[in-house]
Amino acid sequence: MSVKRDSFSVSITVGAYGSAFGAAAVAADFSVLQACLLSLLLFSGASQFAVVGVIAAGGTPINAIATSTLLGTRNGLYGLRLAPLLKLRGWKRVLAAQITIDESIGVALAQKDEAQMRKGFWYTGFGVFIFWNLFTLAGALGAQSIGDPSAWGLDAAVPAAFLGLLWPRLSDRKSWVLAGFAILLALSLTPFVPAGVPIISCTALAIIIGWRK
């Protein structure tokens, strides 16, 4: 019972965030169809916002793809952790891969036994998928029907959405130090290199900080 309740509450709360994504994408000149395809096919919040954020900042598509992909690497590591638990083959593995995201793994790992963990993964994965996509469409249509995105604060909604995704990750001192340096590096590079490059350059900082324990 409680695994269902956990899954549902996570799905609806996170799903609602999809409206911010849909609106942000349209404000950055993506079409409603493109916004919806990102939610259906890419389906990983931070990576989706990254595609929109890099393009909105004037970056190239290659840069957007690279930034989004680097943000998605953790989903691969989640899959690695889940595989022995789910033990899936064929099309079920394809489905499970698509819904391997922060939330499905988070709810799964919070459960006590393996049967509950599997339920938590599937319920949350599908739940977030459904609500995230519905809300993306709503947000995209909403943003399409309004005029100047700045007049509605949509240009600030993008960095605010990133901040909401970042905040729970600032759990230790190293992360705060890294965040501080990332701001300095990204902004000091901005006037000198093509748009989008300052963002992906900060990967180097993650490698430096993570190199030693």
One residue of 134, 138, 141, 166 binding other proteins per CB under 8 A: 166
Which is nearer to other proteins, 112 or 173 (by Cβ)? Answer: 173
- Smallest gap from residue 128 Cβ to other proteins (A): 14
User: Using alpha carbons only, how large is the chain's radius of gyration in Å?
Assistant: 18
- Smallest gap from residue 61 Cβ to other proteins (A): 4
- Smallest gap from residue 112 Cβ to other proteins (A): 23
Q: Is 155 in the site for other proteins (CB under 8 A)?
A: yes
- Interior/surface letters 121-148, b for 16+ CB within 10 angstroms, e for the rest: bbbbbebbbebbbbbbbebbbebeeeee
- Within residues 1-20, the interface with other proteins by CB under 8 A covers 13, 16-17, 20
Look up tokens 């943000």; give the residue. 71
CA dist 175 and 209 (Å) reads: 9
Which span sits near other proteins by CB under 8 A: 3-11, 115-123, 126-134, 192-200?
Answer: 192-200
C-beta pairs of 205-212 under 8 Å, 24+ apart in sequence: 205/178, 205/181, 206/178, 209/174, 209/177, 209/178
Look up tokens 């049967």; give the residue. 115
CA dist 129 and 187 (Å) reads: 34
One residue of 2, 147, 167, 173 binding other proteins per CB under 8 A: 167
- Smallest gap from residue 4 Cβ to other proteins (A): 21
- Within residues 57-116, the interface with other proteins by CB under 8 A covers 57-58, 60-62, 64-65, 67-80, 82-83, 86, 88, 93-94, 96-98, 100
One residue of 4, 9, 130, 164 binding other proteins per CB under 8 A: 164
Strands (E), 56-143: none
Which is nearer to other proteins, 37 or 130 (by Cβ)? Answer: 37
